[in-house]
Structure 1
Amino acid sequence: MLKYCRDQARDELWLMMGGGAAVGVAGGVPVIGALTFNAGLTAVQAAVVTRIAQVYNVDLIPAGGAGAVAGAIIAMGGGQLLFRIGGGIAGFIPGVGQVVQPAIGAGAVKAFGEAAIAYFENMYPDKIYSSD
């Protein structure tokens, strides 16, 4: 059955959101967790870009690497700053961070992943997914 890369990427994005939620759980430790949350979220977002690039069969090395592509996607979206600030603030409040940060982490990964899909879809519109 024919499947577009954007559809495959969105299917996998739901699984990757679990990584954002896990970072939020780890970030639930008061004070130290806020720093862990931001560092962990950056690592998850790099993995999201790398996997979506693989779905689109794009080699990230000539494009400047996952960091460069992630920077371009963040520049497109801009909403990441709000997620990071909200997650950081919640991490400093005992009890609140444990409840709020997993949702913020999953939401940040979803928003970032959608921006990455839009970025690649703009470059390769209606590309057919190949699992090879």
Structure 2
Amino acid sequence: MGDQFKILLVDDDPVFLFLHEKLLRKVGIEVSIDKCSDGQQALAYIESDHEENVFCVLLDINMPVMNGWEFLRSIQRLPYNASINVFIVSSASRMVNATKKSSSPRLPAHSISHIDLGGLQICP
């Protein structure tokens, strides 16, 4: 059986989780979309469901329990981390993210980018 592609939304704000899922569905994404409210939940989810799955993680940075940077460091240690593709989606300042990103270890198996959602509107 081939790999199954899954999207994992990780954000502590339920409104952002709702909007991200709505936007992905609106543009035609039909794969499984799961949600976690912090990095620790996301890590546990991936660890329990990693066999034959490829993950696209849309990750917030500022979260309680385990923030986005801690999550990135944790998945770097996983033997199957090549199947986890991470995109940072955060309303945090671009400068703060750039500074923190440059001080974090580069994760070659992951794509890390900042997507500014400041002016995004989702229309019915």
* Bucket of the pairwise TM-score, normalised by the shorter protein: under 0.3
**Which structure has more strand as a fraction of its residues?**
2
**Which structure has more helix as a fraction of its residues?**
1
Larger radius of gyration: 1
TM-score, normalization by structure 1 = 0.25
